[in-house]
Structure 1
Amino acid sequence: MSDETPATEPRPPIPLLDKHLCFTLYAASRAITGAYRPLLEPLGLTYPQYLVMITLGEHGSLTVKELVALLQLDYGTVTPLIKRLEANGLLQRRRQADDERVVHVALTDDGLALHTRLSDVPPVIAEAAGLTYDEVTTLQNLARRLTANIDGHTTGVPTAKK
């Protein structure tokens, strides 16, 4: 090796699968959304539809743009959810009079009635999780911080070469 060639540090080995934070979070997400399935199916809802129902029940009428932002999803994901819930009579869409590009969504009377029944779901999920209130709060705070950190950071991972 010449004096002009910089020494390179050996790369650390890739961690085992169960040591990857991404996999741990992915597995936890799949487990918790899977726990919702048997609770939501009798109500005619999928987990993403449940999130829309919860959000509209909490906020009332929202624009699609606001709903997209609150759910942290894209329009291509939210629009079919809205259409399906509307077809099922659970929400209604209306265009804003002064700007027809703006669409408001709100729960119908049937949607509000179903929203009331959704209050039975969280206690069952909490029991399945087996965590204390403080543990859930800590986990949520860490997950929110992780999300904000990742959203605000460029990883610097090189892209694959073709």
Structure 2
Amino acid sequence: MSQIQSSEDLDRVCDVLDKLTLDSLLLIEEKVRLTLNAENAMCGGEAHLAKARYIMGQNSVSALQLPTENSAEFTASAKVYPNEDEKLFGEASYELHLTGTAEGQTVQDPVRWFGVLVPQNLHSARGMFRQALQWAVQTVNIQKQLRATMEKIVELNEVKTRILAK
């Protein structure tokens, strides 16, 4: 009787392991796809920055326009927050929030660091970098799911080993 029960337990554990393995492969595929999308967006953003620098001149689009420690305080135009409502395997997922003007805070458009009349390429670069940031946040969430799935696989392999040892 116990031999039959352990055989059924082994079958159930193996079925769950198979499903988790397929899930992990799908998560890996999704992570690779998101990583490639983020990389392509970053490359495109850099190309648009290079075009804007060519159009405006090499000193008009450079690190000299970026804020320094002595610059006025400002709030980032995009922030990443944990989403406690949507938990992935017990951990909070992350989401990107584009911030607007809040009371007492100055949200500064980074494109304005380079002047008022800037080429369209600078606006395109900003959009591509924002998209890359969104894909990076999604990649982190997928990575967390993948890590949790791999932990479950390790636990079930230990259970499988104990069942086989009986």
State if a TM-score over 0.5 links the two structures. no
**Superposition TM-score, scaled by structure 1 size:** 0.34
Q: Specify which structure has the bigger relative contact order, considering alpha-carbon pairs within 8 angstroms and separated by 6 or more residues.
A: 2
**Superposition TM-score, scaled by structure 2 size:** 0.33
Larger radius of gyration: 2
